Amino acid sequence: MTILELRSELASEGTDGTLTVSSCETHPKTHYGTHRRTRELKFSCTGSWTAQHGGTTYQDVVVNTSSRLESGTEIPVMHVDNTFEQPQDRAPGRDAGILALCLSLAAFGIYCLLTGFGTRNGPGLTASWQRLPSPIVIGPLLGGIFALGILATFVCALVL
């Protein structure tokens, strides 16, 4: 995901509209694991899309759906950039939460690399904190980034 895509999703940019379904297809997808094989059904529906507050209409629009829909069914679909998506499929909070969690994990990883914390027979938390190159500056900086990332993850998961 690029910064522009994330910014677009967080700003909820796009045009609301309605898709009138003309046909739906089922696509089986097989996942191969180490000990088993699973099959997942994917659905896509084709139809004509009309903007909610304007006369813009697109024909032969394909949208991924959670189930097979009958011909003539109308569903809400959002037009964003050059794609059409159902509103519930747009999850900017989830995407921002994942980025925030990655930020906190990166801070924790840097701490582990600098101190040797978490290695086999390595130092404990207190001893590793004292092994930081500059514990007065780097410790609070990494701790603050880690805490900020965790907090932002929870906010994105619960609010957005």
pLDDT in tens, 84-137: 887 765 566 677 888 899 999 999 999 999 998 988 888 998 888 888 888 889
Regarding whether 114 and 103 lie in a shared domain, the answer is: yes
Please, are residues 80 and 132 in contact by the beta-carbon 8 Å criterion? Answer: no
> In this structure, is residue 8 part of a structural domain?
no
C-alpha 75/C-alpha 65 separation (Å) is: 10
> In this structure, is residue 37 part of a structural domain?
yes
Structural domain span for residue 73? 15-89
φ/ψ of 21, rounded to 5, equals -70, 130
Task: List the CATH number of the domain containing 27.
Answer: 2.40.50
Average pLDDT estimate for 37-50: 87
pTM as predicted: 0.50
- Written as one string, the DSSP assignment of the chain is --HHHHHHHHTT-SEEEEEEEEEEEEEEEEEE-SS-EEEEEEEEEEEEEEETTS--EEEEEEEEESS---TT-EEEEEEETTEEE-GGG--HHHHHHHHHHHHHHHHHHHHHHHH-TTSTT---HHHHHHTSSSTTTHHHHHHHHHHHHHHHHHHHHHT-
Decide: residue 9, CB within 10 A, 0-12 exposed, 13-18 middle, 19+ buried: buried
Regarding whether 80 and 109 lie in a shared domain, the answer is: no
Our count of domains for the chain comes to 2
> In this structure, is residue 129 part of a structural domain?
yes
Candidates 50, 30, 56; CA nearest to 41 is 30
pLDDT in tens, 130-158: 888 888 899 999 999 999 999 998 888 78
Regarding whether 103 and 70 lie in a shared domain, the answer is: no
